[in-house]
Homo-oligomer: A and B are copies of this chain.
Amino acid sequence: MRTSVAKMRVIEGNKKDTEARAEELRILEALLFAADEPLDEKVLAARLPAGVDAHALLAELQKEYAPRGVNLVRVGGKWSLRTAADLAWLLTREMVVTRKLSRAAIETLAIVAYHQPVTRAEIEDIRGVTTSKGTLDVLLETGWIRLRGRRKAPGRPVTYGTSEAFMSHFGLDAIGDLPGLDELKGAGLIEQSLPSGFSMPVPSDDPALRDDEDPLEPGDLDLGLAPRADQTEE
């Protein structure tokens, strides 16, 4: 009889301990939730019943929150509840902003379309102006042009071509559907009186590399396609 009473007392004691523990965790939780800055262990301890090991309690709360959508983290030696890092995407909203391409970019894009595979120097030659790195970057960002390879020529310049996204954006079935000189003249986009010798290439976006092209090297794509840090602001 005595033992059983003793046992009961122990059980009751444990129960009380568990309850007290739960209450202490509740207090920690509420404090951390409502605080508008990370909290010091000392500050937290001051709010807990005397004699409670704040450090151990925090560790327990941290463990409890670890698998959840919100985690208890230490920042600068203080404690704070934060959204789980893997859920950061939830806290961003993507806004689609329609932007117009600059005139330089459109011209460059057209030149890439008609003259591909084409190098930056060749684009500059056709446009008669230097093409800024930014213009090609923007076009790469649109996904409409792509790096094809490298020209077998001094300096081994990168060659550009159009992508499938280009075709689908501009509603082209084949690159050959781009109008030729006569059609452009017919549409009034080019005047009839042009110097003789003016010619337009027949565009081709055959993915197979030409004889004067080398394949890209592994690093090339990283260099050209990774969005630049300063670009997101644009």
Contacts and interface: CB of A to CB of B under 8 A. Distances in A.
A29 interface: yes
Given A26-B84, A84-B26, A33 B69 contact: yes
A91 B26 contact: no
Contact of A34 (B29, B30, B67, B90): B90
A87 B22 contact: no
Given A83-B34, A90-B47, A29 B67 contact: no
Interface string A16-32: 00000010011111110
A70 B61 CA distance: 13
Nearest to A33: B70
A26 B31 CA distance: 21
Interface bin, chain A? 20 to 34
A122 B90 CA distance: 47
Nearest to A83: B30
Give the copy number. 2
A29 B94 CA distance: 15
A68 interface: yes
A90 B31 contact: yes
B34 A84 contact: no
A47 B83 CA distance: 15
Interface string A167-191: 0000000000000000000000000
Nearest to A84: B30
29 contacts: A25-B68, A25-B69, A26-B67, A26-B68, A26-B69, A26-B87, A27-B69, A27-B87, A27-B90, A28-B69, A29-B69, A29-B70, A30-B69, A30-B70, A30-B83, A30-B84, A30-B90, A30-B91, A31-B69, A31-B90, A31-B91, A33-B69, A33-B70, A33-B81, A33-B83, A34-B83, A34-B90, A34-B91, A35-B94
